[in-house]
Structure 1
Amino acid sequence: MIKTGDVLSWSRTFTEEETLQFAQLSGDQGKHHIEYDEHGRLMVHGLLTASIGTKIGGDLNYIARNMNMEFIRPVFTGDTITCHAKLTRVENGEGYKKVTVQSTYTNQKDKQVLLATSSGIVRD
């Protein structure tokens, strides 16, 4: 049973292979995503970074109706990103719950990389 105030978290480390695969799948082949920087890294796509939250949503069977994202700083291959998703509102509807989520994504240095909010439903 979900309730207002619940916090769910998920972490993952992004690889070169999946970043290049996402470039192919999404069609976003900006140089910063497919050419290595001076430190031998690729910049991870913002939407690939944001996909950490979709794992949490999938665990809840959450159907998002809207999303708002603010990308604070870049994420690079080899970075480990953690998403903390806080359920800021859970209201009962008829056969579902209306849910609002506020998410903070941080890197392995505990620096914010992405702030997101979304709202949607979880069916009963």
Structure 2
Amino acid sequence: MIKPGDIFREEKTFLRDEVRHFAEITGDTGRHHMEEDDKGRVMVHGLLTASIGTKIGGGLHFIARELTSEFLRPVFSGDTVTCELEILTVEKEEARQLVSLRSSYRNQNGKEVLRGTSIGVILNH
């Protein structure tokens, strides 16, 4: 059972091929995602970066109803990003729990690249 103050973490290193596949799936083939910079990197889509948090949410069986994201810095292929998700509130109802949370994503240099909040439900089984 989750409770306010619980913290979950997940880490991911983004690969060039993942960015290409995400571009193919979404149709977002902006130049910055497709053409390498002078360091041989491409910019990772913001929503692909945010997907680290969805892995945590999936493990909690969290169904998002509202998501707010603030994209602070670019993420590039080869970067390793850690998402830290904190449970803020849990309201128990008969068939579900109403949950609010906040997330912070940091790159391998400790710089925050993305932050967000979410409200959703976890169904009781």
Q: Any stretches of 5+ residues in structure 1 without a counterpart?
A: none
State the partner residue of 1:88. Answer: 88
Alpha-carbon distance between aligned partners in 2 of 1:37 and 1:74, rounded to the nearest angstrom = 13
RMSD over aligned Cα atoms? 0.4
State the partner residue of 1:55. Answer: 55
What do residues 11-33 of structure 1 show as CA deviations (whole Å, max 9, x unaligned)? 00000000000000000000000
1:15 aligns with 2:38: no
The structure 1 segments of at least 4 consecutive aligned residues displaced by more than 2 Å after TM superposition are: none
Query: What one-letter code is carried by the residue in structure 2 that aligns with 1:19?
Result: V
With normalisation by structure 2, the TM-score equals: 0.98
Percent identity for Structure 1 against Structure 2: 52
What do residues 63-118 of structure 1 show as CA deviations (whole Å, max 9, x unaligned)? 00000000000000000000000000111012110000100000000000000100
State the partner residue of 2:38. Answer: 38
How many aligned positions are there?
124
Alpha-carbon distance between aligned partners in 2 of 1:88 and 1:13, rounded to the nearest angstrom = 27
State the partner residue of 1:103. Answer: 103
Query: What one-letter code is carried by the residue in structure 2 that aligns with 1:2?
Result: I
For the residue of structure 1 that corresponds to 2:43, the secondary structure is coil
For the residue of structure 2 that corresponds to 1:28, the secondary structure is coil
For the residue of structure 1 that corresponds to 2:2, the secondary structure is coil
Q: Name which of structure 1's ranges 88-97 and 98-107 shifts more when overlaid on structure 2.
A: 88-97
For the residue of structure 2 that corresponds to 1:44, the secondary structure is coil
